Amino acid sequence: MSFDGLMMHHLINEYQDSLIHHRIDNILYVQTDVFAFELYHQKQKKLFYIDLHANDNRLYFTDHKKITSDHHQSLSLFKKYLSRSHITTIKQYQTDRVCIITCETFDAFDGNIQYQLVIEMMGKHANLILIKDGMILEAYKKMVHEISRSIAYHLPFTFFPSNKKQLTEFTFNQFDVNGYVSAYEGMSKDLAFEILKTETKPYDLPVVPSMKGSKRYIYQVENGKIFDSINHMMQTTYDETHIHTGVIDTLIQKRQLKLPKLMDEKSLHQSHLQDYLIAETLYTYHDPKAYVARIENIDLDVDLTVHENAQRYLKAYNKAKRALPQLDHQILKTQQDLDFLKQLRFDLISNMMTYQDILSILFEQKFIFKKQTNIKKKRMQPIEIRDGQDILWIGKNAEMNAYVTHELAHAHDIFFHVKDAPGSHVILRGSKDSTLFKDAMKYAAYFSSLRKASKVEVMVAFKKDVKKITGMHGSLVHVKTYSSYMVTLDSEFVKLCESL
C-alpha cells in the first residue's frame, strides 16, 4: 500500500502522545533520502526517522542509539532553525499525504518563533520543506517551474493544488477503483479496492496495521503479518528493506556530493570566458607599465602593471577553455554513475538481484576495487510472454536489462522503459498494433521504482534508437528518439505482475 491519506491520518493520531513536547537536539542525514531527528523529553531520547525514498516513503521513531550523519547541503539550515526547538503540534494537511510539524523556539529579541516542517509523502516527489510565516527557508528537494509549483529559498510556500474532494467527505458512488482514486484526496488504489470489497467507508475501517510481502496496510489483510502499532510496522519495514544497501548508498552519496561541486566549478570557469576580451582591452592601453586600480570599468590589481593584469586575465581564460570540456565529461560521467547505482539499489531492495551479484558487478565496473565474492554470477532468464507471433521480454535487473536490449532485441523491436527512474527494460518483438503493446508499457511501469505512483511516464522507442553508453554497463543506455505515454496500473494488472 502506498503512503495514502488514511495511513497519514492514523499515523499522526498515533504520534500525538509520542512526539508532542519533544525537543529537537540534533538532525542527521543518515543515508540517501533519509533524515533522523534526535528528540528529547522527560529524560528520554528517541530517534524520529523521515524516509523520503521514492519507492517507499516512511515516518517512524525508534529508541535512541548512536548513529553517524553524512553531509547534505540542506542539513545546516535545518539545524540552524530547528535545533533546540520544541514540537508543539503535528497534524495532517486536509486528507492528503502531508504532515505538518510545528516547532517553537525562543529568541531573546523576537520572543517565541514558530517554524513549520512540512513532510510531503508523494512517492518520487516526497520532500521535506521548512517554512516560517508562509515563506520557504529550506527544502530537501528544490525546484523552480514557470507554470507549476516552485520550491526554493524565500518563495511563498503552497501545497500541491488539488480539485479532489477530501476523504472525510466520502460517499459511496458507482465508481470503480480508479474512479475513487480520481475523486478523493488521499485515496490509494489499495484503499479503494478495500472499500469496494468490504463496503466500508475509509474512516470506519478497523485499524489493524498489517504487512504482506513488502507492502504495508492500515487494515488487516489475508495472510498478512499484524503489528501492535503503525510505527512498529514502519520501523520493521525499514530494517528489512534496507539490509545490505550500505555499500551502494555510500557510492551514491559520494557522487551526489560531487555533482554540485562540479557544477559550481563549471560556473566559475564559464565566468572567465569573457576574460579574453578584458585582456585585449588592457593590452591596448597606452601605458602598459602603469600601476592603476581601474580601466574602463575593469578592476585591476594595483600591485601589478596593466600588462601583467592583462596576462592574468588571459591566463584565467585559457585555463577555463581547457577545463570546461573536462568538466562536462566529469558531470556526464557522474550522472551516469548515479543512474546506474540507483538501478542496482532498486534491484537489491526489490529482491531482483542478490547482494553477492551486486558486489560482483560493482567490482567489474570498477566502483569497488576489492573483489568481495568468488561466487560466479548466474544469468537469470528474463520473463518471456508470447501472443501468437509477438514476443515480450522483461529484464528484471541490470544484468537482464543489458541482455534483453543488446543481445535479444533486433533493430526494429520496440523498447520500453520508465522515464528518469530505475526499472526494467521491456522489449516487444511485434508492432504497435500488437495486443501486447499496451501491456508492455504497464510492465515497464510496474517493474520500476515508480510502480506506486498514480501515473507513470513510459518511454517507447525502436531498439535501433537505443544505444550503449561507452564505458558504462550495458543496462545504461541513451535513447535517441522516443515517444512518451502516461500509464496507470489497475489492481488486476498489479496482481498479474505479482504472480510473475
- For the stretch 275-327, pLDDT in tens is 999 999 999 898 989 999 999 889 899 999 999 999 999 999 999 999 999 99
Look-up of cell digits 553517524:
68
| pLDDT band, residue 393 (cuts 50/70/90) | very high
What mean pLDDT is predicted for residues 362-370? 84
Q: Is the pLDDT of residue 376 over 60?
A: no
Stated pTM of the model: 0.54
- The x, y and z cell numbers of residue 182, run together, are 480520481
Look-up of cell digits 474532494:
165
Q: How far, in Å, CA of 341 to CA of 360, rounded?
A: 13
Q: Is the pLDDT of residue 224 over 90?
A: no
Q: Which residues, 6+ apart, have CB-to-CB distance to 257 below 8 Å?
A: 71
What mean pLDDT is predicted for residues 413-418? 96
Q: What is the pLDDT of residue 235?
A: 86
Strand partners, 48: 37, 61
Estimate the crossing angle of helix 246-270 against helix 355-364, to 10 degrees: 40
What mean pLDDT is predicted for residues 224-232? 89
DSSP 293-305: SEETTEE--TTS-
Q: Is the pLDDT of residue 1 over 70?
A: no
- The x, y and z cell numbers of residue 169, run together, are 467527505
Q: Is the pLDDT of residue 92 over 90?
A: yes
| pLDDT band, residue 459 (cuts 50/70/90) | very high
Buried-state track 231-255, b at ≥16 Cβ within 10 A, e below 16? bebbbbbbeebbeebebbbebbbbb
Q: Between these two residues, 385 and 452, which has the higher pLDDT value?
A: 385
What mean pLDDT is predicted for residues 389-407? 93
User: Which amino acid appears at position 310 of this protein?
Assistant: A
What mean pLDDT is predicted for residues 94-109? 92
- The x, y and z cell numbers of residue 109, run together, are 529579541
Q: Are 336 and 477 in contact (CB under 8 A)?
A: no
Look-up of cell digits 487494515:
219
Buried-state track 359-384, b at ≥16 Cβ within 10 A, e below 16? bbbbeebebbeeeeeeeeeeebebbe
pLDDT in tens, 19-30: 999 999 999 998
Q: What is the pLDDT of residue 143?
A: 84
Task: Calculate the average pLDDT of the chain.
Answer: 89
* Among 78-82, 100-104, 208-212, the least confident range: 208-212
Q: Is the pLDDT of residue 479 over 60?
A: yes
Q: How far, in Å, CA of 417 to CA of 337, rounded?
A: 18
* Among 104-108, 137-141, 198-202, the least confident range: 104-108
pLDDT in tens, 51-69: 998 778 899 999 998 888 8
What mean pLDDT is predicted for residues 248-257? 89
Q: What is the pLDDT of residue 406?
A: 94
What mean pLDDT is predicted for residues 81-101? 95
Estimate the crossing angle of helix 491-498 against helix 189-198, to 10 degrees: 110
Q: What is the pLDDT of residue 238?
A: 43
Q: What is the pLDDT of residue 350?
A: 78
- The x, y and z cell numbers of residue 245, run together, are 544497501
Q: Which residues, 6+ apart, have CB-to-CB distance to 155 below 8 Å?
A: 135, 136
Q: Is the pLDDT of residue 242 over 50?
A: no
Look-up of cell digits 508562509:
134
Q: Are 61 and 49 in contact (CB under 8 A)?
A: yes
Q: Between these two residues, 390 and 244, which has the higher pLDDT value?
A: 390
Strands (E) across 281-433 are located at 294-295, 298-299, 383-387, 390-394, 414-418, 426-429
Q: Helices in 350-395 by DSSP H: which ranges?
A: 355-364
Distance of CA 264 to the CA centre of its chain: 22
Q: What is the 3-state secondary structure (H, E, C) of 95-149?
A: CCCEEEEEEEEEECCCEEEEEEEEEECCHHHCEEEEEECCEEEEECCCECCCCCC
What mean pLDDT is predicted for residues 421-434? 93
* Among 158-167, 254-263, 343-352, 400-409, the least confident range: 343-352
Q: What is the pLDDT of residue 377?
A: 55
Q: Is the pLDDT of residue 453 over 90?
A: no
How far is CA 431 from each of CA 385, 423, 480, 487, rounded to the nearest angstrom?
Answer: 15, 22, 19, 19
Q: Is the pLDDT of residue 12 over 50?
A: yes
Look-up of cell digits 512518451:
484
